[in-house]
Every structure is written in structure tokens, then in C-alpha cells.
């Protein structure tokens, strides 16, 4: 009888651990499935999440996202493109600025491009959400890497947009091991659902954690 409280505590701890493992396992499956789905519906705008730029030029990963957006735009799937992403220490350009220049060079009129910023997924969305709503644009095709699609859409939905999945089909990122990316996304989505994606962004920025960083 003297060990009964200890056994009970171990059983409770084991049950909690099982629930946590199951929760994140289901989250991982949902992330993986979302990244494999590409909506066939049209939208009012295309929302492109930023990633690294190379001294004024899109990185291969960013170029893949922009090319996906161009394909959608040229197919008349949406009439606007919103680009996001800020700059890192030492950069002379922003990801959004480089993206806008790239799109213009490929035939998109500047008046149809909405330029935002942001250092993480939440900030990416918030940098353009107001501009989109001011133009009465709420449905967006979300363009990012497949592993980031679920969280990107969740952040967009949390800020009043109606997201549709449009993940990059052939991203250069897929040439690397994707397990670290999926692990980060599973943790970020799992936490974001519990505490809110805006709170996750604030905590990650304040603690300098990489969980809220986009794609």
C-alpha cells in the first residue's frame, strides 16, 4: 500500500505522455496530408510566404514559390499576388521586395502586387492581411513549401482570411532531408493550436526560438 501513490502517479504520467504522443502524431499526419493537397478552386489573391533571398535575387526555394504563384496568376486563378518576408541582419533587401521585383520582371503589373514583410509566419500574414481586406480580398491561395502549408493556412485563417492550399510541387527543399522541417512544423502547429499562433509568434520572437519562422 505504501507504493500505491507512486504507482498512481506513474500511471497518470504514462497516460498523459500517451495523449501527448498521440496528439503530435495526429498533427504530423495532418501536416503531411495538407502538404499533398492542391486546391482546384479559384481565389481572390495568391499569398506567397517569404524565404531567403540572395543579395537581391530569390533563393532557389523562394524562386520556386514565386514560379508557383506565377503559374496560378497566369492561369487566372487569382487577380492579385501578396508577397511577404522581411530581412535578416546584414541584408540590404527584403524577401517581399525581392519577390515583387521578380514578379514584375515576369509580367505581373505592380498594381496587382501587395508587398508585406514579417519575420515569421504570423507576421508574414499580418503584414498583408489588412491590405487584402482593404481591397475586399479574403480568399487566398497559399503558396509555400508542402511541409509549411498547414501552419501557413492556419495562420491565415486565424487572421480572418479564407485559405486554399497551393503548395509548391517541386521545391528545391525536397532535395534535403525533410524530417527536421516536419519535426519543427509538428511542434509549431501542435503548440499553435493550443496557445494560439499569435501567442506562439510572440513567445518565439521574445525567446529567439525558431518555431515560428516560416518555411
What is the C-alpha to C-alpha distance for residues 70 and 138, in angstroms, rounded to an integer?
19
pLDDT for residue 212 is more than 70 = no
Q: Which of 7-11, 70-74, 129-133 has the lowest mean pLDDT?
A: 7-11
The architecture (CATH level 2) of 45-207 comes to 3-Layer(aba) Sandwich (3.40)
Task: Give the CA angle between residues 41, 45, 50 to the nearest 5°.
Answer: 110
pLDDT for residue 1 is more than 90 = no
C-beta separation of 151 from 119 below 8 A: no
Q: What's the grid cell of residue 156?
A: 491565415
Higher pLDDT, 82 or 17: 82
Q: Which helix (H) or strand (E) holds 83?
A: strand 80-83
Q: Which helix (H) or strand (E) holds 202?
A: helix 197-207
Best CA proximity match to 131, nearest among 82, 67, 71, 192: 82
β pairing state of 113-115 and 139-143? unpaired
pLDDT for residue 175 is more than 80 = no
Mean pLDDT across the chain, nearest whole number?
Answer: 92
Residue 10 to residues 2, 16, 17: CA-CA distances in angstroms? 14, 10, 10
The full set of domain ranges for the chain reads 45-207
Q: Which of 16-25, 31-40, 87-96 has the lowest mean pLDDT?
A: 87-96
Amino acid at each position: 500500500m505504501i507504493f500505491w501513490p507512486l504507482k498512481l502517479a506513474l500511471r497518470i504520467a504514462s497516460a498523459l505522455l500517451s495523449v501527448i504522443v498521440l496528439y503530435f502524431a495526429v498533427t504530423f499526419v495532418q501536416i503531411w496530408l495538407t502538404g499533398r493537397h492542391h486546391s482546384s478552386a479559384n481565389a481572390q489573391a495568391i499569398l506567397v510566404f517569404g524565404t531567403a533571398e540572395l543579395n537581391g535575387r530569390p533563393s532557389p526555394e523562394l524562386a520556386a514559390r514565386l514560379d508557383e504563384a506565377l503559374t496560378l496568376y497566369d492561369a487566372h486563378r487569382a487577380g492579385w499576388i501578396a508577397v511577404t518576408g522581411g530581412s535578416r541582419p546584414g541584408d540590404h533587401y527584403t524577401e517581399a521586395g525581392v519577390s515583387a521585383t521578380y514578379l514584375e520582371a515576369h509580367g505581373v503589373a505592380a498594381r496587382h502586387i501587395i508587398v508585406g514583410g514579417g519575420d515569421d509566419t504570423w507576421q508574414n500574414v499580418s503584414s498583408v492581411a489588412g491590405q487584402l481586406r482593404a481591397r475586399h480580398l479574403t480568399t487566398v491561395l497559399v503558396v509555400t513549401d508542402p511541409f509549411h502549408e498547414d501552419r501557413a493556412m492556419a495562420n491565415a485563417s486565424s487572421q480572418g482570411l479564407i485559405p486554399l492550399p497551393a503548395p509548391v510541387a517541386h521545391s528545391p527543399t525536397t532535395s534535403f532531408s525533410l524530417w527536421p522541417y516536419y519535426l519543427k512544423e509538428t511542434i509549431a502547429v501542435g503548440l499553435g493550436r493550443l496557445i494560439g499562433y499569435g501567442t506562439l509568434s510572440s513567445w518565439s520572437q521574445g525567446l529567439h526560438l525558431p518555431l515560428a519562422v516560416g518555411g
